[in-house]
Amino acid sequence: MKKNFYLTTPIYYPSDNLHIGHTYCTVASDCIKRFKELEGYNVFFTTGSDEHGQKIATKASEAGMEPKEYVDKIVANIKKLWEMLDIKYDAFIRSTDPRHEKDVQDIFQKLYDKGDIYKGEYEGYYCTPCESFWTEAQLNENHTCPDCGRPTQLTKEESYFFRLSKYKDRLLDLLQNNDEFTEPAFRKNELIRNFIESDEGLEDLSVSRSSLDWGVRVPFDEKHVIYVWIDALICYLSAIGYGDDKEKFESFWPADVHLVGKEIFRFHALIWPALLMALDLPLPKKIFGHGWILFDNDKMSKSKGNVIYPEPIIKLYGVDALKYFLLREFSFGSDGSFSKEKFMQRLNSDLANDLGNLLSRTVAMAIKYNEGIIEDKGVKDGPDDDLKDLALSVKGKVEEAMEHFRFNVCLEEIWKLIRRSNKYVDETEPWILAKDESKKNRLNTVLYNLSESLRIISILINPFIANTSKEIRRQLGLEEEISWEDAKVWGLIKKAKVNKGEVIFPRLDIKKEILRLDEENAKLMEERAISKKAEEKEEKNAKAFKDEIALDDFNKLDIRLALVESVEDHPNADRLYLLNLKIGNTKRQIVSNIKDKYTKEELTGKKILVLCNLKAHKFRGIESQGMLLACEDEDGKLSIASTLADIKDGAIIS
């Protein structure tokens, strides 16, 4: 039977569209999922959105929207992004899912009943962007948040507390004596120093807010909503059926690894295990705290205008280029700096020059010199064994590096084989062999060895860049299905016929491409701004309903259908018409400023609705005895109001 493996990303705040930093962790998780599946595990991979809390409530109100309405829109974009990136998640958990909310309430109740949650009063500082509580001593000197450096708010309110302090010794023991639990190792030392052994020690944690509405209610106290971090962490349980699918839950819990960014490592390596201890549940096997992607060495932030979004990169260079860059360029445990130049350079050197070139020259030579046939004719020579030995050694190295999520090391090892294979072409010089009929069999073997090497490469790169893996196999004439074990066997191709294909990664003119990428990024920003503006406008329109009135008030309006008998220009005003109307037995004249919207011919003979008892008013010397009714949409399109059926003039609106 297959062994289960449970893997999670954090659930992202849908306070804004996700940037490349958020994408990083999801791409890494997806790679682990694919790798573990190839290794034969039954993997469950969850991601999701963290939709409650002050930060979202504020963002939604700034946009003039209800929180749920606001997050729905961003969550749709997040899902679209994961689809674009071909992320193979098994569950997308939203913290507003009723199933999840119920689990959160049940767990809160359980901990309260057990005495691990109690009521008290909280006084301290709250950082809304981080949704974190701080004591005065923990703050920076200017009272800003020690994590993000932004201002905090002094908060004093009745609150429920979780007895975090009760678990101090067990947590210390866990961190100090279980090396598997946290990775990279240096993160846990920081944690022990700053949070357990600091002057303040490990204090009980405020786990409810009475000053906030947007959250899961404390089940036994309607005044309070549950602290967003408690709510969020429980997603790891609800995503696999904590409250409603016992069998599934028990087959996947405890998680094999939670991948999290370094700033939220603390929540996962301290608060999360303490909560699980209180619930008597097994602890996750590993919390991996990855580094941040910076932009030109600075933290990405919208206000600094240095945010890189993944969509334009995917659009211009494809999913695999982005995945490859993220996994190859950075060392997962540490910070790294994104730059467009670095991205283009990697594409050119590793994907176009090394891998792309190896594939295209192998396929082209097979077609040119051998009618596309790949078949070993057994004529071995000098560098063959060297190539084969290296090829067979890579699988083990990848497996070893993947134990610690060293994606960059895996790719480095695979690329050694790619470069060795390119060198093999230079060493064996197939173009010279092709000129000599007596060397035909040797030529066959050389092409065969290159194809075998590429076959192994196609397996090894599969968890990282699956589309490219597929395309290599297609061009080599191999079946799509792969087996990880086949990366350790030489000589599996019996006979194949290659298929000519497109260049998989064209070389880029870096300067030009940077401009193109900037343009694409600007386009995306503009589109998002336009759709935001349109929504704001819609919102405004919807909100513009006037105060309620009584029927009596409406009955005061005398609106009748009038026949436009003729239309004249106003003698003293360029933009006004005089409309001569027949309303039943009476005649009236009104002045109207619709000259730029309707011609006289368009109006004459039409029946229109007119407010007849509006106090008469003179416009440039001519009295208007009423007002026609019209409406205008947000694009400035105007239409005079009329009735659906052609009925007699003089009819009264009621």
**Residue numbers of the site for ligand MSP (CB under 6 A)?**
10-13, 21-22, 24-25, 50, 232-233, 235, 260-261, 263-264, 292-293, 300
Angle at 540 (CA atoms; ends 545, 636), nearest 5 degrees: 95
CB of 372 to ligand MSP, least distance (A): 45
With 0-12 / 13-18 / 19 or more C-beta atoms within 10 angstroms meaning exposed / middle / buried, residue 419 is middle
End-to-end CA distance of the chain: 75
Q: Collapsing DSSP states into helix, strand and coil, what is residue 406? A: coil
Nearer to ligand MSP, 312 or 430 (CB): 312
CB of 75 to ligand MSP, least distance (A): 12
CB of 42 to ligand MSP, least distance (A): 23
CB of 261 to ligand MSP, least distance (A): 2
d(Cα 243, Cα 491) in Å, to the nearest integer? 51
d(Cα 518, Cα 506) in Å, to the nearest integer? 19
Nearest residue to 32 (alpha-carbon basis) of 48, 23, 44: 44
CB of 160 to ligand MSP, least distance (A): 19
Nearer to ligand MSP, 106 or 335 (CB): 335
Contact 484, 399 (CB under 8 A): no
Nearer to ligand MSP, 261 or 310 (CB): 261
Nearer to ligand MSP, 129 or 243 (CB): 129
CB of 60 to ligand MSP, least distance (A): 16
CB of 356 to ligand MSP, least distance (A): 28
Q: Which residue's C-beta sits nearest to ligand MSP?
A: 261
With 0-12 / 13-18 / 19 or more C-beta atoms within 10 angstroms meaning exposed / middle / buried, residue 533 is exposed
DSSP, res 267: I
N residues, the chain? 654
Nearer to ligand MSP, 22 or 100 (CB): 22
Q: Collapsing DSSP states into helix, strand and coil, what is residue 185? A: helix
CB of 19 to ligand MSP, least distance (A): 7
Q: Which strands, in side-by-side order, build the sheet including 293-295?
A: 298-299, 293-295, 336-338
Using DSSP bridges, classify how beta strands 182-183 and 287-290 pair: parallel, antiparallel or unpaired: parallel
Q: What is the DSSP string of 308-355?
A: --HHHHHHHH-HHHHHHHHHHHS-TTS-EEE-HHHHHHHIIIIIIIII
Q: What is the DSSP string of 517-583?
A: HHHHHHHHHHHHHHHHHHHHHHHHHHHTPPPP--HHHHHT--EEEEEEEEEEE-TT-TT-EEEEEEE
Residue 251: C-alpha distances to residues 82, 255, 288, 416, 417 (Å): 26, 10, 22, 39, 39
Enter the tokens of residue 115: 């005495």
Nearest residue to 604 (alpha-carbon basis) of 582, 636, 624: 582
Nearest residue to 21 (alpha-carbon basis) of 329, 303, 295: 295
DSSP, res 240: T
CB of 300 to ligand MSP, least distance (A): 5
Determine the number of helices (DSSP H) and then strands (DSSP E) in the chain: 23, 27
Nearer to ligand MSP, 97 or 221 (CB): 97
CB of 22 to ligand MSP, least distance (A): 5
Nearer to ligand MSP, 28 or 487 (CB): 28
Nearer to ligand MSP, 46 or 428 (CB): 46
Nearer to ligand MSP, 302 or 423 (CB): 302
Nearer to ligand MSP, 266 or 420 (CB): 266
Nearer to ligand MSP, 50 or 116 (CB): 50
CB of 287 to ligand MSP, least distance (A): 11
Nearer to ligand MSP, 233 or 487 (CB): 233
Q: Enumerate residues 6+ apart whose C-beta is below 8 A from 620.
A: 570, 572, 573, 576, 591
CB of 244 to ligand MSP, least distance (A): 20
Nearer to ligand MSP, 34 or 290 (CB): 290
Q: Enumerate residues 6+ apart whose C-beta is below 8 A from 578.
A: 567, 568, 569, 570, 589, 590, 591, 622
CB of 476 to ligand MSP, least distance (A): 36
